[in-house]
Structure 1
Amino acid sequence: MSALSTEHRGRLLDIAREVRFEQGARILDEGGVPDRFWIVRTGLVTLDLRVPGRRAAVVDSLSHGELVGWSWLFPPSGWQLGAEAMTPVRALEFDAARARRLCEADPWLGREVAMWVGSVLAHRLRAARTRLPAMYAPH
């Protein structure tokens, strides 16, 4: 969220609530309904991708200040990745519909959020492209 202006960050934080996830808790599952998103306050979250015939592949790990879930910005899609708490996690949780309404009502906020989420998405794609070939390449 540090990519957002102070004003816009504050407007989003006004709709946040603090949540906790125990170690091992599934935060979201690939294909699920993207009705919320989170910013990690403390702890470690891994992102995973289902691989047919194998267990899910971890494609990234997130910690303090990082966004968990970007699919909420692009309805009506489902989650593109899964996420699991690898340690106890404290996070800020945001209602996706409410956040989208804020973005629609204020085009400058919407632009900043779209740029922020887009940069996160680009980073996640690079991370997945780096990790997956290394994990599944012939040895």
Structure 2
Amino acid sequence: MTSTTTLAAALPAEYRERLSALARDVSFDVGARLFEEGLRADRFWIIRTGTVALDMHVPGRRAAVIESLGHGELVGCSWHFGPHVWQLGAEATSPVRAQEFDAEAVRALCADDPEFGRAVACWVGQVVAHRLHATRVRLLDLYAPYGSGTR
């Protein structure tokens, strides 16, 4: 992921501090599923250590890994956009330590402070745009006759 989509690069320090005040520390073992496609998106995470793979269900095949996320990156975007349902799945591919956020509490903070809400929306939007591009490239690599053509 590009540095402009990590929390440190995307939000000013004041907003990062306000967001961090809502966080709780969590950890996941290798192979733990953080969320599944189609289920309710009620939280999100910022990775402190470890890696998480985003994957997509492909009928008749193993899940396609779309992207691997690491330090400082946002895991989960669907919490921000209605109907708040996960569009991808996520699995810890190494031991993970992260900050976990309750989506409802963050959305309430965004509603209470429009400038903060705008900054969070821009950050999540940048992440979504990046992930859409990564998904397209990965699916072309997996299923197009000649891949994405980026090689």
Query: TM-score, normalising length from structure 2?
Result: 0.90
C-alpha distance after superposition, 1:28-87 (max 9, x if no partner):
101111100000000010000011111110000000000000000112231000000000
* Structure 1, gaps ≥5 residues long: none
Counterpart residue type for residue 77 of structure 2: W
**Which amino acid in the other structure matches residue 35 of structure 2?**
L
What does residue 99 of structure 1 align with? 106
Residue aligning to 1:122 = 129
Distance in 2 (CA, whole Å) between partners of 1:5 and 1:30 is 31
Aligned with residue 41 of structure 1, among 18, 39, 48: 48
Number of aligned residue pairs: 139
Instruction: Spell out structure 1 runs of 4+ moving beyond 4 A.
Output: none
Report the alpha carbon displacement of residue 14 of structure 1 after superposing the two structures with TM. Answer: 0.2
Tell me, in whole angstroms, the C-alpha distance in 2 between the residues paired with 1:129 and 1:137: 11
The percent identity for this pair of structures is 61
Cα distance in structure 1, aligned partners of 2:105 and 2:34: 19
After superposition, the CA RMSD in angstroms is: 0.9
Q: Which of 64, 84, 95 does residue 88 from structure 1 map onto?
A: 95
Gaps of 5+ in 2: 1-6, 147-151
1:63-74 superposed matches below 5 A? 63-74=70-81
What is the identity, as a one-letter code, of the residue corresponding to 1:9?
Answer: R
> How many angstroms does 1:20 deviate by?
0.2
